[in-house]
């Protein structure tokens, strides 16, 4: 039984010539973050992660404050328990699939014995149907397989929330559908807040319940996906939803 986890954030972050302002509350759901290139979506993800430090704002996960500029609180990235899945999957190229997952297990708060780590890693890989790839290096895997290893690794770190950056952009069309199904099942099972940056309406309709729209550093709208399709809040969303193939 999972307690209700909420990702609540208000961030103000000035980078180069534009300021990023976003206020968002994410429950146990997946929110898709869309917007034109340069709108600040990836910067927002990095600020939530703690890689960039905003000037002002507040970020909390469940009851834990991760960032509060007013109180000068800023927890380091490694303590935020936010899983990050970058566009190119972020697998360590020098570690096999099993060792990639074991890395996450080794970094957990409560140390796990070395012998048990490998066993656990295999169990996670099994959950995603790729236990047979345990000994392979990332370079020897297809895009879809890599995404599943990355997902297994992220889940193994027992995150409180998950941040995805264009999860299907680096995949070919056939792999995309399969990964979307895997992601949908996993996110549903994990029941944690998920924020997903995407340019692809296929991702949005398959995975997200709500749509957050960013433009020039500002979060301008946040609506339910069904609502966004019927009554697009901005022209950009209208184009995105209207395109049957991959969006810009």
Partner 1 sequence: MSVSRARWGHHLGYRLGMTVLATGLGLLLVVPFVALLLDGGPGAIWRGFDCSLTWPALRLSLVTTAISTIVVILGGTPLSWWLARSRLRSARWLETMLQLPVVIPPAVGGIALLLAFGRRGLLGGLLERLGFAPSFSTLAVVMAQTFVAAPFYLQAATLAFTRLDPKLLAVARSLGASPPKLFWSVALPLARPALIGGAAMSWARALGEFGATLMFAGNLTGKTQTLPLAIYTALEIDLRTAQALSLLLVGFAFALLLVLRRINQTPRQRERRGG
**Which positions touch partner 1 (CB under 8 A)?**
46, 49-51, 76-86, 88, 90, 92-96, 99-100, 102-109, 114, 117-118, 121, 137, 139, 153-154, 157, 163
Cα–Cα distance for residue pair 156/201, rounded to 1 Å: 28
Q: How far is the CB of 18 from partner 1 (least distance, A)?
A: 20
Q: How far is the CB of 14 from partner 1 (least distance, A)?
A: 16
DSSP-based three-state secondary structure for 220: strand
Which of 100/229 has CB closer to partner 1?
A: 100
> How many helices, marked H, and strands, marked E, lie in the chain?
8, 11
Which of 41/221 has CB closer to partner 1?
A: 41
Other beta carbons within 10 angstroms of residue 116's beta carbon come to 11
Q: How far is the CB of 216 from partner 1 (least distance, A)?
A: 24
Which of 52/238 has CB closer to partner 1?
A: 52
Pairing state between β 30-34 and 56-61: unpaired
Cα–Cα distance for residue pair 213/233, rounded to 1 Å: 8
Nearest CA among 25, 32, 72, 28 for reference residue 214: 32
| ∠ CA 160-165-168, rounded to 5° | 115
Q: How far is the CB of 232 from partner 1 (least distance, A)?
A: 31
Which of 199/241 has CB closer to partner 1?
A: 199
Rg (CA), the chain: 18
Which of 161/206 has CB closer to partner 1?
A: 161
Q: How far is the CB of 158 from partner 1 (least distance, A)?
A: 9
Give Dmax (Cα) for the chain.
55
């Amino acid at each position: 039984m999972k307690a209700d986890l909420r990702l609540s954030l208000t961030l103000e972050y000035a980078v180069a010539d534009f300021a990023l302002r976003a206020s968002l509350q994410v429950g146990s759901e997946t929110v898709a973050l869309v917007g034109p290139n340069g709108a600040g979506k990836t910067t927002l993800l990095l600020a939530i992660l703690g890689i960039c430090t905003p000037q002002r704002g507040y970020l909390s996960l469940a009851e834990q404050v991760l960032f509060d500029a007013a109180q000068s609180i800023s927890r380091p990235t490694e303590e935020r328990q936010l899983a990050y899945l970058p566009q190119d999957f972020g697998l360590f190229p020098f570690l096999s699939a099993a060792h990639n997952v074991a890395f996450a297990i080794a970094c957990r708060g409560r140390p796990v014995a070395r012998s048990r780590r490998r066993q656990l890693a295999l169990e996670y890989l099994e959950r995603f149907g790729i236990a047979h790839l345990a000994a392979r290096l990332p370079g020897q895997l297809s895009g879809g397989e890599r995404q599943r290893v990355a997902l297994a690794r992220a889940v193994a770190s027992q995150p409180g929330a998950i941040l995805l950056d264009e999860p299907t952009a680096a995949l070919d069309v056939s792999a995309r559908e399969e990964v979307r199904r895997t992601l949908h099942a996993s996110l549903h099972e994990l029941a944690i807040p998920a924020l997903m940056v995407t340019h692809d309406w296929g991702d949005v309709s398959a995975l997200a319940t709500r749509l957050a729209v960013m433009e020039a550093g500002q979060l301008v709208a946040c609506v339910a996906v069904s609502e966004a399709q019927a009554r697009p809040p901005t022209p950009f969303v209208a184009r995105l939803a209207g395109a049957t193939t991959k969006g810009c």
